[in-house]
Chains A and B, each alone.
Chain A
Amino acid sequence: MLELPKLIKIDKLYKFADLVKEKYFYILKKYNEREYLIQVGEDKNTQYDFIIPKGYEDQVIFKISGNIDSKKKYRLFLIDKVLIIYDKEYYEKKFDEILLKNLAELQEENKKIENLFNQLKEILLKGEENILNEKEYDYIEIEKAEDRGIDQNQFNELNEIYKEADIQKRLKRIKLYEKEKMIKEKEKKYGIESEGDESG
């Protein structure tokens, strides 16, 4: 009896990147714009549901030639929180071409960087101040929101304020923006999609 492959859901970009790091994978099926069935390498036991988290759709970029093809090998890298999925064969050839072309120039750049580093090291050894300052770091922290109690009497006090401000009259003038906007966005993103396999 055939054993069904174990399906595990991955819904974090970095987890997906870790999983297929330095490996290739197949995109067996595209359920919709956010959900894909993938397989790492040739082992059918390494099939996963890859789900792009809501709100992160723009952070996944497909650099592929033509449509998603379940027979093609894909690779990816994560750079600056953006996941770039590319067509292994086509793009790696391109990368190699670029690398070869620039190798000589890169070696020249390395020399410049080495010189700069030596100059900085020299300054540091001389103990000069104000050249290499403290490392910039994040100075502001908003502490984790706590589920602490709310003084419910405050709401009564607020209600008194609203009475003074003739709130009902004013209420008619303010527009809710988010509800309308969100519905339109959702329709645009998900409402028109087909549920079938679009991978061909």
Chain B
Amino acid sequence: MELKAKVMRVVEKLKINPDNGRIGISAGSGYGKTYLSMALLKKGLKAGYKVYALSYTQHSEEKYWDDLKKYGDVVIYEAGFESLELNDLIVFFYKVFEDKQGKKIIYINDLDLYLENADSTTLALLKKIFSSIRKLNSILIYEVKDIKGPNYLSLIYNTKILFLGKSGRDEDTLFKHIGFEDLKYYYNELKEKNHEFLAIDINNKKVEFVKVIGDEIVRIPKKINVENMGDEDEPY
């Protein structure tokens, strides 16, 4: 019997550091955003970063915070206001950067709430803060349910890595905005129930399917069988 040799594709790890560490996580409710964030934050703590989190729903997420604290230094701020505004987010950054050391991971678990009613001036201020993060030797992770409308899309300019899960809506505008329209073929292959995400390296136009298993974010090997996919390599 002839044994066919199988050639494995060697996939390099996606390495995150302050240079590319402006990370967006977008998916509908219940599609695994929190698990993904926690896996990233644990990795960050193990790598020696200190985590500053702005939580809107900290009580319901207390078990996650307690678990996270086992891995390192975590400071949690509560966003317990009656009406959330983008300026409140700026206050959070102010508190975070009172600590003038680097090696921080800044995590916002519900950015939608602040962006909903953002005016253009405040949004411009936020963009300036976002672009400062790299120079301050820090990493930013934000979660949104959806990337829609100009306020959200403008964030993409400051997002280097986007984890995109199912949101239940058409994402063509987002793909156009990223300048990577083939993403729709990948997006259509996402399995909703499995909490799968596309890990999109926006600058390098690379994408992989990933999901969280334990504390690891593993790649899911998949074949994308579409015509006119350009120069995409065969996965095997």
**A interface vs B, CB < 8 Å?**
55-56, 125-127, 129-130, 133-134, 136-151, 154-155, 157-158, 161-162, 164-167, 170-171, 173-178, 181
Contacts and interface: CB of A to CB of B under 8 A. Distances in A.
Nearest to A59: B70
B229 interface: no
Contact of A142 (B16, B92, B129, B213): B16
The binding surface of chain A is classed by DSSP as: loop
Given A130-B223, A174-B77, A144 B199 contact: no
B216 interface: yes
Interface string B110-137: 0000000000011001001100100111
B43 interface: yes
B213 A136 contact: yes
B193 interface: no
Contacts of A151: 135-136
B224 interface: no
A1 B92 CA distance: 64
A145 B91 CA distance: 25
A145 B103 contact: yes
A11 to B, nearest CB: 15
Nearest to B19: A143
B91 A174 contact: yes
Contact of B199 (A140, A146, A157): A140
A166 B87 contact: yes
B169 interface: no
Given A133-B221, A139-B11, A161-B125, A177 B76 contact: yes
A139 B135 contact: no
A153 to B, nearest CB: 8
Interface in B39-86: 39-40, 43-44, 46-49, 55, 58, 69-71, 74-81
A167 B70 contact: no
A150 B236 CA distance: 43
> Can you list the 4 inter-chain pairs with the closest CB atoms, starting with the nearest?
A127-B4, A145-B48, A139-B219, A145-B103
Contact of A150 (B48, B76, B136, B210): B136
Interface in B85-114: 87-88, 90-95, 97, 100-103
Given A139-B199, A142-B139, A157 B128 contact: yes
A47 B108 CA distance: 47
Given A144-B47, A155-B97, A175-B80, 16 more contacts: A136-B219, A139-B217, A140-B43, A142-B40, A142-B43, A142-B44, A143-B17, A144-B48, A145-B103, A165-B87, A165-B91, A165-B122, A175-B78, A176-B77, A176-B78, A176-B95
Given A55-B69, A142-B17, A147-B103, A171 B137 contact: no
Nearest to A172: B91
Nearest to A53: B70
B226 interface: no
Contacts of B135: 150-151, 154
B129 A170 contact: no
Nearest to A180: B78
B143 to A, nearest CB: 16
Given A129-B236, A136-B220, A170 B91 contact: yes
